[in-house]
Structure 1
Amino acid sequence: MTAALRGGAGDVTVTGLRHEPVGTGQMGSSYRFHLEYAAGGPTGAGGSDGGVTTAPRTVVVKMGAGDPADRGVVRQGYRKEVGFYARLAGRVRIRTPHCWQAAISPDSRLFTLVLADAHPARAGSQETGCDVDQAADAVRNLAGLHAPFWNGALLGAESSWLERSDDAARAFMGELHAAATAEFVARYQAELDPLDAETLRRAAALTYRWQSGYEAPFSVLHGDYRLDNLLFPADGPGVCAVDWQTISIGLPGRDLAYFLATALPPDVRREHQAGLVLAYHQRLVELGVTGYSAADCFTDYRRGLPHGPLITVLGCVYAAGVRTAGSDRMFLSMAERACAAIRDLESLELIEAET
């Protein structure tokens, strides 16, 4: 721990520590470490603004979960999260925990992140949703991820761990999504509105065309930018994004649409979505994005809406965790809200006409 912190917290010496598990992650395990320092050493608090120079009293340490021999499927996610903190976090304007150490083994089955502790900030609740002020904070924060890499040629330098999907990968994803959708609809047949079931099937059938049809604009995507992966402070703005194992390169409107469609009840989204998309666009402009109008942004929001069914269905059907009543309610709420948004904004009709 001393070696990890000396990279950004000065000449510190950790003399004692204790830890306890935090969170319920399935792909990784997280722990809060309480640290003691040699007498006279610097002390302070961690943060999420990338400018931490003092030694924190607590940090969060994230590592792989389960038997390393069984991590073949998830190790790409480990590479992505470590890659983000090691190579991209210093170049983004999104609030995310400061990272003192990002290390991974050659086979990507073992990794360690030493991160700032955002306590007492609390994760959002996907089932409960958020209010409009929180949504505005979240979409402006999201623009801080997209703007620095907007149509960025420099992303090619990250191709060893952050690649764009090729045609074969998109075709495979289309088949996977269709199969998972059939299972999702069958699992929740008693609770799922038939109209939502049909929207899910239509979205899955368009996955290949949808992913292939929009090459620009592009940027880094969080991929799972939803309330459970956002830490909100007790008062006011300052949301912080965590869990970077699903990042990719693609249409920025996918992150925006996924968040707004799943975070807000349909009636609230309908009333406020225009203003929230505009807030996101205004932040893009503030951060230097040019040649991209507010009208273009709203159209990309419509184009991005199938990301909701994609991530919801795949996350539900292929989740490693034990199925619970709470997880069922969460996935159903996400599916219902995403489907309502797709129909309201005629997203599938737009994609069919354009691709």
Structure 2
Amino acid sequence: MSEAVIAADLDAGPVPIPKASQGFTPAWLTRALAAPVVAVEAQRIGEGVGVLSELHRLTLAYGAGPPGPASLIAKLHASAPEVREICALYGVYEREVRFYRDVAATVELRTPEVYFSAFDPASGDCVILLEDLAPAASPDQVAGISLGELTEAIDGIASLHARWWAHPRLDELRAIMPRAAEPPYADVAENFRACLPSALEALGARGHHGLVRVSRRLAGAIEGLLSAISTPPLTLCHGDFRTDNLMFRENPEGRELTVIDWQVVMQARGPFDLGYLMGGAVPTDLRRKNEDELLRRYHGRLVDLGVAGYGFDECRLDYRRSVLFSLVYWVEGLALADPSSSRAAALFGCWAERLAAAVDDLHLESLVSP
């Protein structure tokens, strides 16, 4: 185990970070939770989903004294060296720990309760003990998010954006949560161009010749697009605002949204999150019928929460840029997808169809025209 540099403050001093899931012992959990854990049952979950981290559901039993949660989700650094290298390059572990420590409590948007978190910059080891949200579930991106879920997601992310809109503390957080056009996120341009040949072949095979043309043009315009998305006024954006990271749970008071996975938080124009969600997760008919109303709702919520000097026309342009930028996610994501997976084929197939329709409907080719 390694010594934690960012960790919960406990009387016993810094709590060491387990190297592997076998380190989630009753003794370790007793220290981390400050509760008398006498037994623990660990179940690996999210394989193939938690790509950058290993996820375990821990079911706990307690001895005499105040108990902690009956179960929790342990998010541990990945074991694969190549994944750890990517995580170190992009700073994802420290960023998520810092988000929960410095940002989560400042916003109305619900995030999982954190019982303990620690990150060691020397080794790159990281652990976060999170609220178990079961029986909450994410919408199926292939089937598409519903209008009710989409509306709640937009209201929720708008509250985050409004709270941090042009906030003076953005400069303080910039080293950990940089602008979209700054390292390490700026590397996306070269990655996009490297992944493009195979993506063009896949898009052509699916008959999306318009997306092939736009993707080629985007290859030479991506730095300019990133610059526009990163020009003030800025706010904190989730950065990976898709259905897998939206957890909905039915309560007596109604449906409750919790947003998870804050490893790629960035500073950008607020509609960045909205464009990514709308470009891939929303069925085309639903988007076409509700897009303008939802975008006006998002903008109106910003204004109601105190954002000034940001007109609807500017918001709409930022939204169009962000939907276009979601094509970058498609191209780079396809390169990482398992070609033998029927689920991946269905996901990237419906995503491409929705993007192709959005590119036409929103006249996005004009944003990358020579």
Task: Name the TM-score, length of structure 1 as normaliser.
Answer: 0.86
Q: Distance in 2 between matches of 1:349 and 1:69?
A: 38
Task: Report the equivalent of 1:67.
Answer: 80
Q: Of 298, 319, 334, which residue of structure 2 is paired with 1:301? A: 319
Assess, with a 3 A threshold, how the Cα gap between structure 1 residues 233 and 171 changes in structure 2: closer, same or farther.
closer
Q: Distance in 2 between matches of 1:68 and 1:170?
A: 21
Q: Which amino acid aligns with 2:354?
A: R
Give the conservation status (yes or no) of the 8 Å contact 2:217–2:368: no
Task: Report the equivalent of 1:224.
Answer: 240
Deviation at 1:296, TM superposition (A): 3.0
Task: Report the equivalent of 1:278.
Answer: 296
* Large movers: runs of 4+ above 6 Å: 167-171
Assess, with a 3 A threshold, how the Cα gap between structure 1 residues 131 and 168 changes in structure 2: closer, same or farther.
closer
Q: Which amino acid aligns with 2:285?
A: D
Does 2:155 correspond to 1:132? Answer: no
Does 2:60 correspond to 1:35? Answer: yes
Task: Report the equivalent of 2:20.
Answer: none
Assess, with a 3 A threshold, how the Cα gap between structure 1 residues 144 and 351 changes in structure 2: closer, same or farther.
farther
Deviation at 1:211, TM superposition (A): 0.9
Aligned length: 335
Aligned-pair identity in percent equals 30
Q: How far does the alpha carbon of each residue in 1:213-259 deviate from its partner, in whole angstroms, 9 at most, with x for none?
A: 34022111111101111112246432211111222111211111111
- Aligned residue runs from structure 1 range 143-158, under 5 A: 143-158=158-173
Deviation at 1:70, TM superposition (A): 5.7
Q: How far does the alpha carbon of each residue in 1:127-171 deviate from its partner, in whole angstroms, 9 at most, with x for none?
A: 111111111011111112211111122111123322225578677
Q: Which amino acid aligns with 2:238?
A: H
Q: Distance in 2 between matches of 1:63 and 1:185?
A: 36
Q: Which amino acid aligns with 1:105?
A: D
Task: Report the equivalent of 1:252.
Answer: 270
Deviation at 1:85, TM superposition (A): 1.4
Q: How far does the alpha carbon of each residue in 1:267-308 deviate from its partner, in whole angstroms, 9 at most, with x for none?
A: 210110112112222332333222223343223212221221
| SS class of match (2:309) | coil
Q: Distance in 2 between matches of 1:323 and 1:104?
A: 35
Deviation at 1:31, TM superposition (A): 0.8
Does 2:115 correspond to 1:90? Answer: no
The more displaced of 134-143 and 332-341 is 332-341
Stretches of structure 1 lacking an aligned partner (at least 5 in a row): 7-11, 43-54
Q: Which amino acid aligns with 1:56?
A: P
CA RMSD of aligned residues (A): 2.4
Q: Distance in 2 between matches of 1:36 and 1:348?
A: 57
Assess, with a 3 A threshold, how the Cα gap between structure 1 residues 68 and 174 changes in structure 2: closer, same or farther.
closer
Q: How far does the alpha carbon of each residue in 1:179-212 deviate from its partner, in whole angstroms, 9 at most, with x for none?
A: 3122212245422422232233333332111111
Q: Of 151, 167, 181, which residue of structure 1 is paired with 2:196? A: 181
Stretches of structure 2 lacking an aligned partner (at least 5 in a row): 1-28
Does 2:86 correspond to 1:57? Answer: no
Does 2:355 correspond to 1:338? Answer: yes
Q: Distance in 2 between matches of 1:162 and 1:317?
A: 25
The more displaced of 295-304 and 65-74 is 65-74
Task: Name the TM-score, length of structure 2 as normaliser.
Answer: 0.83
Give the conservation status (yes or no) of the 8 Å contact 2:276–2:322: yes
Deviation at 1:116, TM superposition (A): 0.6
Does 2:343 correspond to 1:326? Answer: yes
Assess, with a 3 A threshold, how the Cα gap between structure 1 residues 269 and 78 changes in structure 2: closer, same or farther.
same
Assess, with a 3 A threshold, how the Cα gap between structure 1 residues 208 and 325 changes in structure 2: closer, same or farther.
same
Does 2:42 correspond to 1:19? Answer: yes
Give the conservation status (yes or no) of the 8 Å contact 1:174–1:205: no
Q: Of 210, 217, 233, which residue of structure 2 is paired with 1:202? A: 217
Q: Which amino acid aligns with 1:27?
A: L
Q: How far does the alpha carbon of each residue in 1:304-331 deviate from its partner, in whole angstroms, 9 at most, with x for none?
A: 2122111121122145x67512112212
The more displaced of 81-90 and 169-178 is 169-178
